[in-house]
Amino acid sequence: MGSKNKLKRFNENETFSNVIQPTREEVTTNFPHKGKWNEFFKNDNPIILELGCGKGEYTIALAEKNPNINYIGIDIKGARFWRGAKTALEEDLPNVAFIRTQIELVDFCFAQNEVSEIWITFPDPQIKYKRTKHRLTNAEFLKKYHHILNEDGIMHLKTDSEFMHGYTLGLLHGQGQEVLYAHHDIYTNPHAPEDVLNTQTFYEKQYLEVKKAITYIKFKLKY
């Protein structure tokens, strides 16, 4: 994507009513929506997050199917989620929002028990050991998710990375977490959940074309 195109998208994001672009300091000191997302959406419906949302394909697809649930995509790359934000406005989806911030700050954006579900879709697996702290399912991130999820909160991890799938499963089992479903190749499994099969990201479609296996884990966190 050219720099001019990126700049155009950044400028458009500034005008979108469903996009929030706080500074890091604003998030960590006094983020105004924390604990008050019901005021932003003007309802008390459940909140579901898509972390590292990219173009926001899951956020948009699920929001279309479930108008009584609020969806929030989070990504640091605003030029990417511009597409999702624009689509939500064009299709008049009032239950969609996007936050441009680092995922490590997610517990500053939401209050304890404020979130119902979290989707992590095709994250960078950060395979090198020194990058462990950046893996979105490492122990520290799981603690953050547990804090903002409600008592019945659900986690979803969908990835093309066998490493990320195995790493996460090992960590969950080691911590005694509740794994509700796990499979290393969901498109060959007749019992895979519909939402996982029916919604495909841009990159996922490319992976499937070259017959790359897509993995999925559904789990609950308890400490």
Active-site residue, from 44, 75, 124, 160: 124
DSSP letter string over 176-196? T-EEEEEES-GGG-TTS-HHH
Strand pairing report for 178-183 and 19-20: unpaired
Distance CA(62)–CA(70), nearest Å, equals 9
Q: Confirm whether 124 is a catalytic residue.
A: yes
Q: Are 13 and 82 in contact (CB under 8 A)?
A: yes
Distance CA(67)–CA(22), nearest Å, equals 26
Catalytic residues: 124
